[in-house]
A and B are shown apart, each in its own frame.
Chain A
Amino acid sequence: MTIDGNAGHGAPHWFDDDAGPVVRPYAMTRGRTTSEGQHRLDLIAVVVAEAAVDDREADHTLAPEHVDIVELCREAPQSVAELASELDLPIGVVRVLVGDLVAEELVHVTRPVPPAELPDESILRDVINGLRAL
């Protein structure tokens, strides 16, 4: 592939990863950038796999990325940011996919402390003690 489309003239400019992903990120969400009924998931919202979902992985309505998310979360609850990083997907894509999984009741999401509420003083104290003990 050459930038000017002048094939055969000089070496190709882009190889492999340089050419970008083969599948554009939002193709995985079928073009959706938000999921229904979901408020924006925070980066540190934790995604937890529901139990008894083993049989559901054969569900052909799920994309491979959906299955990846469920599998990762089954090992241990994962934050949205960690999922995005682990799967090398944009945060926005992960939000949509997690939204699908919540709708399918395959996972649930625990919300971090809402911004309007300051975390409990005891939690802050735990954080300080935890940091000191590192």
Chain B
Amino acid sequence: MAILGRSQRRKATVEPVTLKILVAGGFGVGKTTLVGTVSEIKPLRTEEALTEAGRPVDDTAGVETKSTTTVAMDFGRITLREDLVLYLFGTPGQDRFWFLWDELAQGSLGAVVLADTRRLEDCFAAVDYFERRGIPFAVGVNCFDGAARYPEDMVRQALDLDEQVPVVLCDARDRESVKAVLVTVVRHAMARATAARERATS
């Protein structure tokens, strides 16, 4: 390479460290909204209107106002520093796109599982997925207008979560709220890493 002189940079480009956090949860729970709320770019996505063919599969009971679903992944970017960039990836909402998950999950810092108390069972699969793979996650209970509010403990019980797993009430449309959820995930990841390190050295 050096022979061709290509290893010399024309200018010092900053090569950022990149990290990713996944945003998972059932169909129509607000993943795309959450990503859009904090992303500095318009979330990049492939979102297609539900077609007649898709309708029997995409059960919108309880969320009838939702007319489109994300069939590919959508993602956003947060530049924390010139050399530190965080990407948020919304996982595909339907079970038939699970094959994309492993690819997304690899190397992720952690995950947010968004839950809707009207259809809590929709996030069971995501909780299960991250538990099995040992990926640190926090549950964000998206407080929809018109949905009953439940205390964090009730949600924790209903999801049968480990006591270390943080559960936070949030509003996917609110920037401060989403920031708080992300901070919760990273802190949880950090605590887990510290615990793992201590186990390894003791």
Given A53-B6, A105-B6: A130 and B19 within 8 A (CB)?
Answer: no
Complex Cα distance, B22 from A115, in Å, reads 14
Given A43-B89, A43-B104: A105 and B17 within 8 A (CB)?
Answer: no
Inter-subunit contact B187/A128 (CB<8 Å): yes
Complex Cα distance, B8 from A80, in Å, reads 23
Inter-subunit contact A105/B10 (CB<8 Å): no
Complex Cα distance, B4 from A49, in Å, reads 15
Inter-subunit contact B107/A46 (CB<8 Å): no
Inter-subunit contact B10/A46 (CB<8 Å): no
Complex Cα distance, B185 from A83, in Å, reads 27
B193 contacts A by Cβ under 8 Å: yes
Inter-subunit contact A121/B194 (CB<8 Å): yes
Find chain A residues with CB under 8 A from B14 CB.
77
Interface segment out of the listed A27-35, A58-66, A106-114: A106-114
Complex Cα distance, B84 from A83, in Å, reads 18
A2 contacts B by Cβ under 8 Å: no
Given A123-B17, A125-B190, A131-B186: A44 and B10 within 8 A (CB)?
Answer: no
In the complex, per-residue mask of B84-120: 1 if CB is within 8 Å of any chain A CB, else 0: 1111010000000000000110111100000000000
Find chain B residues with CB under 8 A from A130 CB.
78, 80-81, 84, 86
Complex Cα distance, B4 from A105, in Å, reads 10
Given A105-B4, A113-B17: A124 and B84 within 8 A (CB)?
Answer: no
Partner of B193, one of A85, A115, A121, A132: A121
A118 contacts B by Cβ under 8 Å: yes
B15 contacts A by Cβ under 8 Å: yes
Find chain A residues with CB under 8 A from B31 CB.
none
Complex Cα distance, B10 from A43, in Å, reads 26
Inter-subunit contact B104/A124 (CB<8 Å): no
Given A42-B106, A42-B107, A44-B87: A119 and B19 within 8 A (CB)?
Answer: yes
Interface residues of A in 24-59 (CB under 8 A from B): 42-46, 48-53
Complex Cα distance, B107 from A127, in Å, reads 16
Count of CB-CB pairs between chains A and B under 8 Å: 117
B179 contacts A by Cβ under 8 Å: yes
Given A44-B19, A105-B1: A131 and B183 within 8 A (CB)?
Answer: yes
Inter-subunit contact B19/A52 (CB<8 Å): no
Partner of B107, one of A50, A52, A114, A126: A114
What is the minimal beta-carbon distance from A93 to any residue of chain B, in angstroms? 13
B182 contacts A by Cβ under 8 Å: yes
In the complex, per-residue mask of B5-44: 1 if CB is within 8 Å of any chain A CB, else 0: 1111111011111111000000000000000001000001
Inter-subunit contact A131/B103 (CB<8 Å): no
Interface residues of A in 57-94 (CB under 8 A from B): 76-77, 79, 81-82, 85-86
Inter-subunit contact B19/A82 (CB<8 Å): no
Give 6 A-B contacts (CB < 8 Å), ordered by A residue: A46-B16, A52-B5, A53-B6, A79-B85, A82-B44, A127-B86
